[in-house]
Chain A
Amino acid sequence: MTAQGKIDTAFDPMAARVDFPILSKQIYGKPLVYLDNGASAQKPRQVLDAMRDFASSEYANVHRGVHYLSAAATDRYEAARRTVQKFLNAGSEDEIVFTKGGTEAINLVAYSYLMPRIQPGDEIVLTVMEHHSNIVPWHFLRERNGAVLKWVDVRDDGSLDIEALDAAIGPKTKLVAVAHISNVLGTLTPLKEIAARAHAKGVPVLADGCQGAVHEIVDVRDLDVDFYALTGHKLYGPTGIGVLYAKKAHLKAMRPFNGGGEMIREVTRDAVTYADPPARFEAGTPPIIESVGLAAALDYMNSFDRVAVKAHEHDLLTYAREGVRQFNWLRVIGDAPGKASILSFEADGMHAHDLATILDREGVAVRAGHHCAQPLMERFGVASTTRASFALYNTRQEVDVMLAALAKARKILG
Chain B
Amino acid sequence: MDDSLRELYQEVILDHSKHPRHFGKLEHPTHTGQGYNPLCGDRVTVNLLVDKDGRIADVKFEGKGCAISQASASLMTDMIAGRTVAQAEKLMGGFINLVKGETVKGLDEDDRERLDVMAGVSAFPMRVKCATLAWHTMKSALEGGDAAASP
Point out residues on A near B: beta carbons under 8 Å. 28, 349-354, 357-358, 361, 368-370, 374, 377, 383-384, 408, 412-413
What are 13 A-to-B residue pairs whose CB atoms are below 8 Å? A28-B2, A351-B67, A354-B66, A357-B5, A357-B8, A357-B124, A357-B127, A358-B5, A369-B40, A370-B40, A370-B41, A383-B40, A383-B41
Is B59 an interface position by the 8 A CB rule? no
Expressed in whole angstroms, the Cα–Cα distance for A351 and B39 within the complex equals 13
A354 CA to B68 CA, complexed, in Å? 8
Question: A384 is contacted by which of B9, B42, B68, B124 (Cβ under 8 Å)?
Answer: B42
The SS class assigned to the A binding surface is helix
- A-B interface pairs (CB < 8 A), number: 53
Q: Give Cα A369–Cα B130 distance, bound, in whole angstroms.
A: 12
* CA of A368 to CA of B65, assembled, Å: 12
CB distance from B50 to the nearest CB of A (A): 29
Instruction: List residues of chain B with CB within 8 A of the CB of A377.
Output: 41
**Which residue in B2, B39, B43, B124 is a CB contact (below 8 Å) of A369?**
B39
Chain A residues with CB below 8 A from B65, complex form: 351, 383
Choose one: B1, B9, B41; the contact of A374 (CB below 8 Å): B41
* Residues in B neighbouring A28, C-beta threshold 8 A: 2
Interface centre among A369, A374, A408 (most CB of B within 10 A): A369
Q: Does B28 contact A (CB under 8 A)?
A: no
A361 surroundings in chain B (CB, below 8 A): 2, 4-5
CA distance A408 to B9 in the complex (A): 12
B2 — which chain A residues lie within 8 A by C-beta? 28, 361
The docked-state distance in angstroms from the alpha carbon of A349 to that of B5 is 18
In the assembled complex, B64 has its CB within 8 A of some CB on chain A = yes
Contacts of B127 in A (CB 8 A): 353, 357
CA A357 to CA B68, docked complex, whole Å? 11
Cα A353 to Cα B69 in complex, Å, equals 10
Given contacts A350-B67, A353-B130, A383-B40, 6 further A-B contacts (CB under 8 A): A354-B68, A357-B127, A361-B4, A369-B40, A383-B65, A413-B14
Q: Which of B5, B14, B64, B124 is within 8 Å of A383, CB to CB?
A: B64
How many residues in B have their beta carbons less than 8 Å from beta carbons of A?
A: 22
Q: What are the residues of chain B within 8 A of A368 when measuring CB–CB?
A: 40
Chain B 6-36: CB-based contact to A (< 8 A → 1; otherwise 0): 0011000010001000000000000000000
Answer whether A354 and B40 are a contact pair too, CB < 8 Å, given A28-B2, A361-B4, A413-B9. no
Interface string of B130-151 (1 = CB under 8 A from A): 1000000000000000000000
Q: Which partner residue on chain B sits nearest A371 by CB separation?
A: B41
Q: Are A354 and B9 in contact (CB under 8 A)?
A: yes
Q: Give B43's nearest chain A residue, CB to CB.
A: A383
Query: B4–A369 contact, CB under 8 A?
Result: no
**Residue numbers in A under 8 Å from B126 (CB-CB):** 357
How far does the alpha carbon of A268 sit from the alpha carbon of B67 in the complex, in Å? Answer: 62
> Interface 1/0s, chain B 74-113, versus A by CB < 8 A?
0000000000000000000000000000000000000000
CB distance from B36 to the nearest CB of A (A): 11
With a cutoff of 8 Å between Cβ atoms, the chain A residues found around residue B9 in the complex are: 354, 358, 412-413
**Complex CA–CA separation, A353 to B121 (angstroms):** 13
- Quote the shortest CB–CB distance from B63 to chain A (angstroms): 9
Q: How far is the CB of A362 from chain B (nearest CB, A)?
A: 8
CB distance A384 to B41 under 8 Å? yes
CB distance from A359 to the nearest CB of B (A): 11
Contact A412/B5 with A353-B127, A354-B66 known, Cβ cut-off 8 Å: yes
Tell me, in angstroms, the Cα distance from A351 to B40 when the chains sit together. Answer: 10
Residues of A close to B4: CB separation below 8 A:
361
With A and B bound together, what is the CA distance between A377 and B38 in angstroms? 13
Chain A residues positioned under 8 Å from B14 (CB to CB) = 413
Closest to B130 in A: A353
Query: Within 8 Å CB of A353, what residues of B?
Result: 40, 66, 68, 127, 130
A384 in contact with B1 (CB, 8 Å): no
Distance, CA A413 to CA B9, complexed state (A): 7
The answer to whether A352 touches B67 (Cβ under 8 A) is no
Determine the chain B residues whose CB is within 8 A of the CB of A358 once the complex forms: 5, 9
Q: How far is the CA of A361 from the CA of B127 in the complex (A)?
A: 13
In the complex, A412 Cα to B11 Cα: how many Å? 9
Which residues of A lie under 8 Å from residue B39 when comparing CB positions?
369
Q: How far is the CB of A363 from chain B (nearest CB, A)?
A: 11
